[in-house]
Structures are given as structure tokens and as C-alpha cells.
Amino acid sequence: MTEQFNEEDFDLNDLPDDELVEQVHDDLYNGLREEVVESTEILLARGWSASKVLDEALVGGMGIVGVDFRDGILFVPEVLMAANAMKGGMEVLRPLLSQAGAESVGKIVIGTVKGDIHDIGKNLVCMMMEGAGFEVIDIGINIPVEEYIAALEKHKPDILGLSALLTTTMSYMKVVIDTLVEKGIRDDYIVMVGGAPLNEEFGKAVGADVYCRDAGVAVDMAKELIARRRAA
């Protein structure tokens, strides 16, 4: 009799820890939310700390997704599914992490500038940043300078993120950054800008710390700039 592989025979509980972590990476890559949730619960039940599950299983997996997204191997729909799966795992961990007082990698306040309602790219940046362990405060779309300032005062983030998709709205980034300068608080924050019509030269011209061409670069740059700032 030939042995047939039946999907129902596959039980995540049967995998040893290292293989289960690899399975989480694969399931994240494939956007399988239910499986990611189940594996997260299994690792916790085996005595793993929430931080260890987050770092090794979830953040590790999203790191692979981020690299392939940056390199053009994965595209927006797949990344949105991976992010959704990641969010499933994070929902299991979130109460435990806040209990344990686990430190986030850093905090970002992010929004799409006034006059602009495009938010798909910004939302992807939020998801990838969250997946990399950042605390993300998404203040939405069509954000005037006063709302950015209020959010900075309220949340005291490490990073201010500005997104714009229109050539007519991207110049509003300069209004926001100039206002920070006028208020004497520009150097309190790392300012990151992104959006399809921008480039590095534009980022420099408006006085941002960095222009990010995509969500993967945003995560890498955020980590690098925070590390540099903390070392200084």
C-alpha cells in the first residue's frame, strides 16, 4: 500500500522547536495567519518567552519577507498577506509583551501629508515597522502640520515618518520640517520621508534625515539611525 500525504496528518505540534520556527518563517512568507497564530501559541506553551517568540519566529520571518520585498521577489499583495499573518501572531503576544515590559526597538509617529489620501504604502511601512519590533503610531492621511506636532508632543517618538504620493503634496513635507525647525525641536526626532514621487535629492532638499524608497529600506534605516543616535 502506498503511503499518501494527508494534510490533516501534518501537526505543527509534532515539530521540534527549530523546525517550528522555520515553519513560522515559511507560513509568514506564505501569509498563513491561522498557522502563524497556532505556532505562536505552541511555542509559548513550550515555555518560550514572548520576546523570544517575537524575535526569533515572527520578526525573523518578517525580515526574510522584507528582504525579498526590497529585492522585488515579493510584491504588495504577498507582503500585505504576510503582514496580516504577522499581526495574527502579534495579537497573541501583545498582552504578554506589555506585561513583561518588553522594550520596543523604537517608536515612530507616521502619517500621509495634508492634501494626500494615499495610504497603501504608508500602511505597508507601518506593518513592516511593527513586524520589526517598532511601536508604530499611525496618525492617518491628510495630516496638517498642527496634527503632526500634537502627535509628537503626545507620543514622544524617536522617528517622525512622512508619506506623500502626489507631486502636489510632497512639498508639504518641507512645511512640516520647517515648522519643527522654527519650534526648535527638529533635532529631537529622526525624520524619514517616503513615497513614489520622492527621491534622495528631494529628501535632502526638504531637510529630512533620510529618504526611504520602500518599506524594507524604511525598517533598515530606522534601525540604523536609532542605533547611531543611541551610540552618540
Site residues (vs ligand B1M, CB under 6 A): 76, 110, 115-122, 124-125, 161-163, 165-168, 192-197, 212, 214-215, 218
Residue closest to ligand B1M, measured at CB: 121
Q: Among residues 53 and 113, whose Cβ is nearest to ligand B1M?
A: 113
Least gap, CB of 21 to ligand B1M (angstroms): 26
User: Which residues on neighbouring strands pair with residue 108, listed in sequence order?
Assistant: 136, 159
Cell 504608508 locates to 122
Least gap, CB of 125 to ligand B1M (angstroms): 5
Q: Are 39 and 27 in contact (CB under 8 A)?
A: yes
Q: Among residues 193 and 226, whose Cβ is nearest to ligand B1M?
A: 193
Q: Among residues 33 and 122, whose Cβ is nearest to ligand B1M?
A: 122
Least gap, CB of 133 to ligand B1M (angstroms): 17
- The three-class DSSP label of residue 113 is strand
Q: Among residues 88 and 194, whose Cβ is nearest to ligand B1M?
A: 194
Least gap, CB of 203 to ligand B1M (angstroms): 10
Instruction: DSSP for 171-197, please give it.
Output: THHHHHHHHHHHTT-GGGSEEEEE-TT
Least gap, CB of 141 to ligand B1M (angstroms): 8
4 burial via Cβ count (<10 Å: 0-12, 13-18, 19+) = exposed
Using DSSP bridges, classify how beta strands 210-212 and 190-194 pair: parallel, antiparallel or unpaired: parallel
Sheet containing 159-163, strands listed edge to edge, beginning at the edge strand earlier in sequence = 135-143, 107-113, 159-163, 190-194, 210-212
Q: Among residues 100 and 117, whose Cβ is nearest to ligand B1M?
A: 117
